[in-house]
Amino acid sequence: MTTLPAGLATIPFDNSYARLPERFFARLPPTPVTAPGLIRVNRDLAETLGLDADALASPTGLEILAGNSVPEGADPLAMAYAGHQFGGWVPQLGDGRAILLGEVIDRDGVRRDVQLKGAGRTPFSRGGDGRAALGPVLREYIVSEAMHRLDIPTTRALAAVTTGQPVYRETTLPGAVLTRVARSHIRVGTFQYFAARRDSDGTRSLADHVIARHYPEVADAERPYLALLDAVIGAQARLVARWLGVGFIHGVMNTDNTSIAGETIDYGPCAFMDRYHPQTVFSSIDHAGRYAFANQPAIVQWNLAQLAQCLLPIIEEDEDQALAAAQHAIDGFPEVFETALTVVLAAKLGLTEARDGDLALAQDLMSRMAENGADFTLTFRGLADLLEPPAEPPQSDALGPRVQFQDPTAFDAWAETWQVRLADEPRPAKERAVALRAANPSVIPRNHLVEEAIRAAEDNGDLAPFEALLSALANPYEEAPEHTRYRQPPRPDQVVRQTFCGT
């Protein structure tokens, strides 16, 4: 038994999922690795969780983060779930390479899962090795933290470590473990697991757990499980609207990758668009473009319909009435989503109050962007410069949105209608520019930068580009002069066309 530094001996775990019935998971510890090495501890997140970052970064902390020792109070387990992957039904998936250590209550009183991803084989591993490669671990670290800084609900990265062991994919790669923090790891696929087994007691226990944990406000509703469905619909609608507002493409929106808490989860071949096009796909495994940028709302609605299906037996006794109520909730998704998207896009246009026509106004801009190869992030970011030129002498990324368009007059024509709309909502230009800059990030994790950070780490063990990228992404709404290169779109030779999930 290792003695833990004070800060770790006292991790105040309170493991509510582990108290659910045994069939919800498989209890097992992580599989030890030969030579753990620290990549990074997320100090900011450690502090939020009330954990001692120095202790986590110590040799004993490293042993925990690598899965070589289990801290007191943890109750390690792999969660059971099922799912539709690319529309095809898989009755049993489950954590094939992740181990939930337990839950802690953070400084804001929010319960958070602490999970090791890449921690070895489990009863759910099927043919997999239970491990993760360094590249995908760094990608998830970078992109999930960027999402957090963009204020988009997401799982987070508490730490990343190397294992000292190779993993075998198309090539031999260094192995790594990501410590992931989530409001929970419960997915639409978790409900599907029980529903597929006609285990209504399991479904009900899971639903009660989810309500207590994520949606306590629905507990007193007349039909709480229907209210739960509505709550998840709302959370997912708002989440996907936020994705569309930053040009994010998840890439693998399978039902097992759709979080019940409404967080972005399971960063695989995800990517942010440079040039805007609604049909953009990056994932090497998404041949049909099922999860293309603009398809994401329809796909999440489909995933939510699977959740609705699972909840039918517990919504109410009368089957026909349960079906009608659930169908009504799912049919309401487009409207809920459109409202959420309108709020996001109106803010991106510098409007305080969204009204009829604003969605069309934003969509008009975006179709012009698509026709003209305009960079998504720089076009929106540049809108503020039209109202208030940037204080600094213009940098190459601050030339305004016009230069993003192959035919700049396509932008000019739109900008005239935009100005007319702005005139309806009088506001000092300076103030509006501030609001615009707070709604439109200047730094996003562009693929070529993520790729560059991964390449340096994988090929040369050089973590400097990874660290530098994280610090540029830490303040996405600022234009620090030292971060100019992180705001630039890729040169033609830097463009990344495909991303891989690397599992």
- Enumerate binding residues for ligand AMP (CB under 6 A): 93-97, 124-125, 128-131, 252, 257, 266, 268, 501, 503
User: CA nearest 88: which of 302, 330, 266?
Assistant: 302
Decide whether 367 or 503 has the Cβ nearer to ligand AMP: 503
In the block, residue with structure tokens 């659930």? 326
In the block, residue with structure tokens 């989810």? 210
Burial bucket for residue 356 (CB in 10 Å: 0-12, 13-18, 19+): exposed
Residue by residue, DSSP assigns 290-341 as TT-GGGHHHHHHHHHHHHHHHHHHHH-SSHHHHHHHHHHHHHTHHHHHHHHH
List the x/- string, 416-445, binding to Mg ion by CB under 5 A. ------------------------------
CA distances from 437 to 63, 234, 312, 477 (A): 42, 27, 44, 6
Decide whether 88 or 216 has the Cβ nearer to Mg ion: 88
Decide whether 17 or 225 has the Cβ nearer to ligand AMP: 17
Q: Taking the mean position of all CA atoms in its chain, how far away is CA 402? A: 31
Decide whether 189 or 245 has the Cβ nearer to ligand AMP: 189
User: CA nearest 165: which of 216, 136, 129?
Assistant: 129
Residue 35 tokens read as 């030579």
CA distances from 439 to 341, 345, 444 (A): 13, 9, 13
Residue 397: contacted member of Mg ion, ligand AMP, none (CB under 5 to 8 Å, by partner type): none
Going by C-beta distance under 8 Å and a sequence separation of 6 or more, which residues neighbour residue 469?
142, 445, 449, 450, 452, 453, 486
Decide whether 106 or 129 has the Cβ nearer to ligand AMP: 129
Decide whether 136 or 382 has the Cβ nearer to Mg ion: 136
List the x/- string, 231-260, binding to Mg ion by CB under 5 A. --------------------------x---
Of how many residues is the chain composed?
Answer: 503
Decide whether 230 or 263 has the Cβ nearer to ligand AMP: 263
Residue 251 beta carbon to Mg ion: minimum distance, rounded to whole angstroms? 11
Residue 121 beta carbon to ligand AMP: minimum distance, rounded to whole angstroms? 7
Residue 249 beta carbon to ligand AMP: minimum distance, rounded to whole angstroms? 15
Neighbours of 327 (CB within 10 A): 13
Residue at 92: amino acid letter: Q
Residue 75: contacted member of ligand AMP, Mg ion, none (CB under 5 to 8 Å, by partner type): none
Give backbone dihedrals phi and psi of 341, rounded to 5 degrees, phi first.
Answer: -65, -40
Residue 128: contacted member of Mg ion, ligand AMP, none (CB under 5 to 8 Å, by partner type): ligand AMP
Residue 31 beta carbon to ligand AMP: minimum distance, rounded to whole angstroms? 11
Residue 268: contacted member of Mg ion, ligand AMP, none (CB under 5 to 8 Å, by partner type): ligand AMP
Residue 99 beta carbon to ligand AMP: minimum distance, rounded to whole angstroms? 11
Going by C-beta distance under 8 Å and a sequence separation of 6 or more, which residues neighbour residue 419?
none
Residue 95: contacted member of Mg ion, ligand AMP, none (CB under 5 to 8 Å, by partner type): ligand AMP
Decide whether 306 or 379 has the Cβ nearer to ligand AMP: 306
Residue nearest to Mg ion (CB): 266
Going by C-beta distance under 8 Å and a sequence separation of 6 or more, which residues neighbour residue 185?
79, 95, 98, 100, 113, 115, 259, 265
Question: Residue 127 and residue 347: Cα distance in Å, rounded?
Answer: 46
Q: Which of 52, 75, 113, 256 is catalytic?
A: 256
By the rule CB under 5 A, 95 interacts with Mg ion: no
Residue 283 beta carbon to ligand AMP: minimum distance, rounded to whole angstroms? 10
First to last CA, the chain: 33
Reply yes or no on whether 256 is catalytic. yes
User: Among 52, 75, 113, 266, which residue sits at the site for Mg ion (rule: CB under 5 A)?
Assistant: 266
Residue 283 beta carbon to Mg ion: minimum distance, rounded to whole angstroms? 13
Residue 203: contacted member of ligand AMP, Mg ion, none (CB under 5 to 8 Å, by partner type): none
CA distances from 422 to 21, 352, 358, 418, 427 (A): 56, 10, 11, 6, 8
What is the size of the binding site for Mg ion (CB under 5 A)?
2
Residue 376: contacted member of Mg ion, ligand AMP, none (CB under 5 to 8 Å, by partner type): none
Residue nearest to ligand AMP (CB): 128
Question: Residue 171 and residue 223: Cα distance in Å, rounded?
Answer: 52
Residue 405 beta carbon to ligand AMP: minimum distance, rounded to whole angstroms? 37
Cross-strand pairs, 412: none
What residues act catalytically? Answer: 256
* Contacts with Mg ion, residue ranges (CB under 5 A): 257, 266
